[in-house]
Amino acid sequence: MKAIITFHSIDTTNSVLSFHPSDFLHLIQSLVESGMPIVTLDNLLDENCSKGVAITFDDGMASVFTEALPVLKDFSVPAHLFLTTSVVGGDNYWQTQPKNAPKFQMMDWDQIAACQSAGVSIEAHTHTHPKLSVLTAEQVQDECLLCDEIIEEKLGRKPKYFAYPYGAYDEKTQKFASSQYKATVTTFMGSLSKNDDHALLPRLDSYYLQSNWIHSKLNKLTGKAYIKSRSIIRSIRGHQ
């Protein structure tokens, strides 16, 4: 199996965006002990890669630095952080954020730089986290390019990968993302296949991985069946 797992915040609040720190430790440890390689997106998307998991975080919550990074360092595994640049050092209440969304402190640039130094690749997630499908082509371009420019200026590296905010995209957004990035990830629930469009890669939402029993079974028939069933149910409910 090949898959990209997505997280937001690693904390104990039990919010819809949260993954408990002890569960995160158990997941990483279980993947390592079961022989499932935890690799970069570069390696995972290589045609010669037969199995592996890439760890991704969206937005840039401070808990990624305080809770997730020590675990990643202890197990010497890489990860990717899709960063929303306008809220660095602030909180996640950007303009399009639902009013009932949980509020989180975001990392500052020193913490983000420390993540990068420890093997976390900093990728693009727009500047203000808008729903790109309702913007004009020019606005989409401005959002992405400004995000890229800020990351390159602050960290000395231009993002190679992109995550659609809210998983929202349309033809113009997909076209621009394909021209600007090596690959883009979505909120579609699923593992990877050889036929995937690299501009619309699915991910495994960590929300469905909170039960510890699944952690060591992701590459087994029971794990694959579980992921497939979650994907179908999510689709029926109208979620990407």
Mean pLDDT across 14-41: 96
Q: Is the pLDDT of residue 222 over 60?
A: yes
Alpha carbons 7 and 19: distance in angstroms, whole number: 7
pLDDT at 240: 53
Ranked by mean pLDDT, the top range of 119-123, 194-198, 228-232 is 119-123
Cβ neighbours of residue 89 under 8 Å, at least 6 residues apart?
106, 107, 108, 109
Confidence of residue 50 (pLDDT cuts 50, 70, 90): very high
Mean pLDDT across 132-151: 97
Q: What is the dihedral of CA 142, 82, 80, 107, to 10 degrees?
A: 120
> What average pLDDT does the structure give for the chain?
93
- Judge whether 3 and 218 are in contact, CB under 8 Å: yes
pLDDT at 28: 98
Is the model's pLDDT at 238 over the cut of 60? Answer: no
Give the global pTM: 0.93
Query: What's CA 175's distance to the chain center, in Å?
Result: 20
185 vs 225: which has the higher pLDDT: 185
Fold of 2-236: TIM Barrel (3.20.20)
pLDDT of residue 226: 81
| Whole-number Å distance between alpha carbons of 94 and 108 | 16
pLDDT (tens digit per residue) in 149-170? 999 999 999 999 999 999 999 9
| Cβ count near 66 (within 10 Å) | 15
Count of CB atoms situated within 10 Å of the CB of 182: 14
Residue 144 in this model has a pLDDT that exceeds 60: yes
